[in-house]
Structure 1
Amino acid sequence: MATTTSTSPHPSAEEGPKASNMRSLSRALEVFAELQRAERPQRLSDLARNCGMSLPTTLRILRVLQDFGMVSQTDKSYRIGPAVLPAARSFLENDPLVVAARPILQQVASQTGLTASLYTRLGFERILVARVDGEVPLRYDLPLGKRLPLTVGAAGKILLASSSDDELQQVVAAAVAGGHEEPGLTAAALRSRLPEPGAEYAYSADERATGVLSVAVAVPSRPGRRPSESISLTSPVEAANEETLRAGVPELRRAAGRLSELLEGSVY
């Protein structure tokens, strides 16, 4: 008589705890990411609502993060804790992208007189990972590690130039949820802001910050992969104009190509 082997629809005793642990870790990282995005300390109720979790679950996660110094509490609000500083220092000192980019950005800033910045894409956002100031300081303080939308600013738009409609819809949803865009934004409207697929650069004026001009190029990636980093030149309007920014594109392209060569063979 033939026998058949069936697979139980229920996870084994070993798989159950592992899956539960991974869900707990995922939720903890989601809460931690929400605190990173916040411009100010967050109340428990706001964190729970923004993360789509119950108050008890959010509170348990915050207490665990507090135990590891990743989160600090003042009165009834929570913020990022001091334990992130050693992690940030380790990243800035050891990350291949940052280490390779520093001298390249210094050269670009020196030759153009403009502020040179490097961004990396993280999900539906971009993060400033390195910057060298130009001759004229910018009007605003943009600290390293700042999460920014992909939907505005040359450095974000160049990374979306070849995106599909489905991806743009996801980007729009994330930008709206993060408060970076109005709820009425559509994927088609976002597409109209972007450079054409295959364009050498993206340009922006008065987009993320008033009175600021920027131009950016994507850092070439491995064949078959889309770029996830971009280099930009930025200036206040009183120190440059559109023609000045566009004149810096060849230097940006050389810098991006050099950075790509230095990163060849690394995880990037």
Structure 2
Amino acid sequence: MATTTSTTAGTAEEGPKSSNMRSLSRAMEVFAELQRAERPQRLSDLARNCGMSLPTTLRILRVLQDFGMVSQKDKSYRIGPAVLPAAKSFLENDPLAVAGRPVLQQLATQTGMSVSLHTRLGFERILVARVQGEAPMQYDLPLGKRLPLTRGAAGKILIAGATDAELKQVVAAAIASGHEEQGFTIEELKSRLPEPGCDYAYSANERVLGVLSVGVALTNRAGRANESMALNCPAEATTEEKIKANVPELRRAASRLSELLEGSVY
């Protein structure tokens, strides 16, 4: 009798908790979709992209608005001002961002190329830090930008050597988030990845036309590659041979940053 009561009570308690977690997960999906968007999004677009009904999406947006995470204007929604304090705290306190900036600055000075630092978040990567090189890039890439793992040297190196099962997940996620077109296949992704045994990735005109890039991974204490560092340069200012000639310097910088992070709680 006591066992039955306990089980029933436990189920009753777990029900609301489970429902709350689903609601939180859905809210994070909507928030992430707004982060990916290049411009304010209409309710119908958000609902379709997130696979939710209009009423559910609207309820989520209203809650996010209450906390300043989302702003609305002219029936369109965008990220709200409440994210700025969180971003400031991250840039000032995160070991990767703090330790990475001087390393990136030194590498940019040595090579004359722009240097970027990325961290993996699920099936995407986030730009954590960036230092401009002598040849200015012809596009703006703000910190915190969600970027694909399927395009660009800094993304591809994070999935180099991944199993087919994981690559299938990467492909599905890239299509769902709008980074790749419908019909994108695992075979196409594999054709972009480094050859087996190669510890760096190279890209040309993949994510942005007219840009060449090489990237290497940073391994943490558990041996996982969750971060990457890349050299980027306009094609008009370099060649494939020249940018690849800087891979040894890129490796040394990545190794130096990995060593700095070993002494932190990162």
TM above 0.5: yes
Cα RMSD between the aligned structures? Answer: 1.8
Identity over aligned residues, as a percent? 75
Q: Which residue of 2 is the match for residue 149 of structure 1?
A: 148
Q: Which residue of 1 is the match for residue 35 of structure 2?
A: 36
Q: Which residue of 1 is the match for residue 124 of structure 2?
A: 125
Which of 248, 251, 260 is the equivalent residue of 1:253? 251
Report the secondary structure of 1:235's partner residue. Answer: strand
| Structure 1 position 197, deviation (Å) | 3.8
Residue 227 of structure 1 aligns with an amino acid whose one-letter code is: A
Cα 1:189–1:9 shift into 2, 3 Å: farther
Per-residue Cα deviation, 1:229-267 (whole angstroms, up to 9, x for no partner): 110001001111112111111111111111111111544
Q: Which residue of 2 is the match for residue 199 of structure 1?
A: 198
Q: Which residue of 2 is the match for residue 235 of structure 1?
A: 233
Q: Distance in 1 between matches of 2:236 and 2:188?
A: 29
Q: Which residue of 2 is the match for residue 52 of structure 1?
A: 51
Listed as ranges, the gaps of 5+ residues in structure 2 are none
Give the alignment's TM-score, normalised by structure 1. 0.94
Q: Distance in 2 between matches of 1:44 and 1:10?
A: 39
Runs of 4+ in 1 over 6 A off after TM superposition: none
Q: Distance in 1 between matches of 2:92 and 2:120?
A: 19
Matched length: 265
Q: Distance in 2 between matches of 1:189 and 1:10?
A: 51
Q: Distance in 2 between matches of 1:191 and 1:69?
A: 41
Per-residue Cα deviation, 1:44-86 (whole angstroms, up to 9, x for no partner): 1111111111111111111111011100000211110011111
| Structure 1 position 175, deviation (Å) | 1.3
| Structure 1 position 141, deviation (Å) | 0.8
Q: Distance in 2 between matches of 1:10 and 1:49?
A: 37
Q: Distance in 1 between matches of 2:25 and 2:152?
A: 30
Residue 49 of structure 1 aligns with an amino acid whose one-letter code is: R
Deviates more, 1:193-202 or 1:240-249: 193-202
Residue 84 of structure 1 aligns with an amino acid whose one-letter code is: V
Cα 1:11–1:45 shift into 2, 3 Å: farther
Q: Distance in 2 between matches of 1:180 and 1:93?
A: 30
Residue 224 of structure 2 aligns with an amino acid whose one-letter code is: R
Cα 1:136–1:263 shift into 2, 3 Å: same
Report the secondary structure of 1:159's partner residue. Answer: coil
Q: Distance in 2 between matches of 1:194 and 1:41?
A: 33
Q: Distance in 1 between matches of 2:102 and 2:70?
A: 34
8 Å CA contact retained: 1:161, 1:198: no
Deviates more, 1:241-250 or 1:181-190: 181-190
Q: Which residue of 1 is the match for residue 15 of structure 2?
A: 16
